[in-house]
Amino acid sequence: MSSQRIFVAGHHGMVGSAIVKQLAQNSDCEILTASKQELDLSDQLAVNHFFKQNQIDQIYLAAAKVGGIGANSQFPADFIYKNLMIQNNVIHAAHVNDVQKLLFLGSSCIYPKFAQQPIAETELLTGYLEPSNEPYAIAKIAGIKMCESYNRQYGRDYRSVMPTNLYGVNDNFHPVNSHVVPALIRRIHEAKQNHYNSVVIWGTGHPLREFLYVDDMAAACVYLQNLNLESYEQCVSPMMSHINIGTNEEVSISQLASVIKEIVGYTGQLIFDGTQPDGTPRKLLNSQKINNLGWKSKIGLKQGIKITYDWFLENENQLRQV
């Protein structure tokens, strides 16, 4: 079998960079990447030209505009427009240029706010979404349905994975636009540095969340992409083809903050501001499908946060601020 030429869209991001690292362990593939300066994925003509110029066998679509509750609330138009444009262009250009295999990365926010827990793939489109990130979620749902539609109409092998909350090396630690794990790491670390007596955290601390270390996510993506089509199709359907990726474990935000506080070595108080939004009260994925296919997560929460905090300390002055 000849070497596979694999394009990783979004290779500078946390997930994309982890996928590149995972793929690099395989000598039988050639990894193709392009920076934002080299290729604007929201430009349809540019994307199609790029695909015509490169003989691509597989695609990992990890490129997306992402952010936490604050960013999603402040920039809803950006989140729905940019994500729709990126995925529309990449998925359609893949088909037009006869790329048979593609893996689309979604998000667990695609599920209804009050979905039955733990959330199975069949919960998709059964209720109202969490309002704070609805535009982003709708874009991701559209991506799943695009993959399903190209499979049904053209016989493509476009798969979708829905990870739980991700964190890890190369995360975004921006003080406003980051997700909960990097946001808490940065805030608690700065409180320690500045000898603050307390740290104020948005919400009540009661919501339950599941967290997956990014290297586990990358391993799951490569595992599923390399799984033969017969095995994959045995656990999905043409109208419900996405697969959850999680740890099957959950913690409250207050418990998460306590773990980070311990790892950072902060001795002050954690104060929860109940006037700020909590988001979805609980979000635990049912990962039975991927577990039945032979994959399980390996990196526990404390280990993952320790690795992430060590990386944060090493890269504090050069962190992405986007």
List the beta strands (DSSP E) in the chain: 4-9, 29-32, 58-61, 101-105, 157-163, 165-167, 198-202, 208-209, 211-213, 242-245, 251-252, 269-273, 282-283
d(CA 9, CA 36): 10
136 is annotated as an active-site residue: yes
| 149 annotated as belonging to a binding site for a ligand | no
Q: Which two tokens stand for residue 262?
A: 């311990």
| 106 annotated as belonging to a binding site for a ligand | yes
| 293 annotated as belonging to a binding site for a ligand | no
| 265 annotated as belonging to a binding site for a ligand | no
Query: How many CB atoms within 10 Å of residue 5?
Result: 15
| 242 annotated as belonging to a binding site for a ligand | no
| 166 annotated as belonging to a binding site for a ligand | yes
Could you give the C-alpha distances from 36 to 7, 120, 168, 308, in angstroms and in order?
14, 35, 22, 25
Write down the catalytic residue from 111, 136, 266, 309: 136
Q: Which two tokens stand for residue 209?
A: 């969340």
| 15 annotated as belonging to a binding site for a ligand | yes
Cis ω before 118 (30° cut-off from 0):
yes
Give the chain's length: 322
| 229 annotated as belonging to a binding site for a ligand | no
| 112 annotated as belonging to a binding site for a ligand | no
| 311 annotated as belonging to a binding site for a ligand | no
| 151 annotated as belonging to a binding site for a ligand | no
| 200 annotated as belonging to a binding site for a ligand | no
| 10 annotated as belonging to a binding site for a ligand | yes
Q: Which two tokens stand for residue 183?
A: 């946001």
Task: Give the bridge partners for 157, in sequence order.
Answer: 101
CA dihedral 80, 81, 85, 88 (to 10 degrees): 40
| 168 annotated as belonging to a binding site for a ligand | no
| 21 annotated as belonging to a binding site for a ligand | no
| 13 annotated as belonging to a binding site for a ligand | yes
| 320 annotated as belonging to a binding site for a ligand | no
Mapped onto helix, strand or coil, the DSSP state of residue 271 is strand
- Concatenated DSSP letters of 8-49: EETTTSHHHHHHHHHHTT-TTEEEE---TTT--TT-HHHHHH
Could you give the C-alpha distances from 245 to 42, 87, 227, 234, 276, in angstroms and in order?
27, 20, 15, 17, 29
| 267 annotated as belonging to a binding site for a ligand | no
Residues in the annotated binding site for substrate: 187, 202, 209, 278
Residues in the annotated binding site: 10-16, 105-108, 140, 163-166, 179, 187, 202, 209, 278
Residues in the annotated binding site for NADP(+): 10-16, 105-108, 140, 163-166, 179
Residues involved in catalysis: 136
